[in-house]
A and B are shown apart, each in its own frame.
Chain A
Amino acid sequence: MRGFVVTVLALLTGLFCSSVLFLPAIGDEDSAPNQHISPVYIAQSELDTGSPNIVTGTLADYRGFDTMWETTVMYLSGLTAVLILSKSTMGRRPEKEDDYE
């Protein structure tokens, strides 16, 4: 069983690694990502967003909507960690009171 699992995992890993061969080369100026909208970002960013930094312009303005949700993910992960750590009674002495309020 163990051997079978290892074989399947090795096969899948090989498959995934081989998929890299089909990707466009790094720095290939004819590849689709470098042809379609990236040039627009590079050309327009400073005019559109007023930010000389293309990364900031894209992150906070063109795709600012995504960044809002990323921030929410951050908040959510922190909150969930706090809720779970403070809720569980596993490994916690029962007489100890919660002092969150």
Chain B
Amino acid sequence: MMKDPFGGMLLNTAFRILVPFSLVYAVYVLILGESSPGGGFQAGVVMGFGIILARLILGEDSGIFNIRLKNSLALAGCGTFIYTLAGWLTLAGGGKFLDYSFLPVAMEETHELHALGILMIETGVTICVMMTILNIMDAVVRRSED
């Protein structure tokens, strides 16, 4: 019993290896997107994959990975809003819309500010994409259960 806590060797392996790996890898893709291939969209997809996998294995009653549809919808909007927020911040800093040089953060180098801005918008994109994937899956699952 203790050997197969998730109901079988395949599921066990999948949960113990694939889920943590995909979550960590998603964060890696997100952070390194600024300097190497990758970025928000890809990170979002990988992260969404990890969460969906966990959910398929654990079922609907699980605690941590079970983001409810009503929350994921609102969060997807908020994720995109983070992107917009970067624009609002640059406007507040006195620059043109999305001119990261004017982000109101105390940093000397302009290109560091740009890197910060890029990281911020990529985070927003990641959240939006991840939550959108969960949204669609959730809606389809509910629909087919009825």
Q: Which residues of A contact B (CB under 8 A)?
A: 47-53, 55-56, 59-61, 64-65, 67-68, 71-72, 74-75, 77-79, 81-82, 85-86, 92-93, 96, 99-101
The one of B76, B100, B114, B140 that contacts A79, using a Cβ cutoff of 8 Å: B76
The distance from the CB of B124 to the nearest CB of chain A, in whole angstroms, is 7
A67 close to B140 (CB less than 8 A): no
The answer, yes or no, to whether B92 is at the interface (CB within 8 Å) is: no
B121 close to A64 (CB less than 8 A): yes
Given known A-B contacts A67-B121, A78-B135, A50 and B73 have beta carbons under 8 A apart: no
B146 close to A78 (CB less than 8 A): no
A65 close to B37 (CB less than 8 A): no
Given known A-B contacts A74-B129, A82-B69, A85-B139, A51 and B77 have beta carbons under 8 A apart: no
CB nearest to B100 among chain A residues: A61
Given known A-B contacts A68-B121, A82-B69, A100-B69, A75 and B80 have beta carbons under 8 A apart: yes
Given known A-B contacts A53-B36, A53-B37, A65-B97, A81 and B114 have beta carbons under 8 A apart: no
- Mark interface residues in B81-99 (1 if CB within 8 Å of A CB, else 0): 0011001000000000110
A71: chain B residues within 8 A (beta carbon)? 40, 79-80, 83, 124-125, 128-129
A-B contact pairs, 22 of them (CB 8 A): A49-B111, A50-B115, A51-B35, A53-B36, A56-B118, A61-B114, A61-B117, A67-B83, A68-B87, A68-B98, A71-B40, A74-B80, A75-B76, A75-B77, A78-B73, A78-B76, A78-B136, A81-B136, A81-B139, A85-B140, A86-B139, A86-B142
A85 close to B143 (CB less than 8 A): yes
The answer, yes or no, to whether B33 is at the interface (CB within 8 Å) is: yes
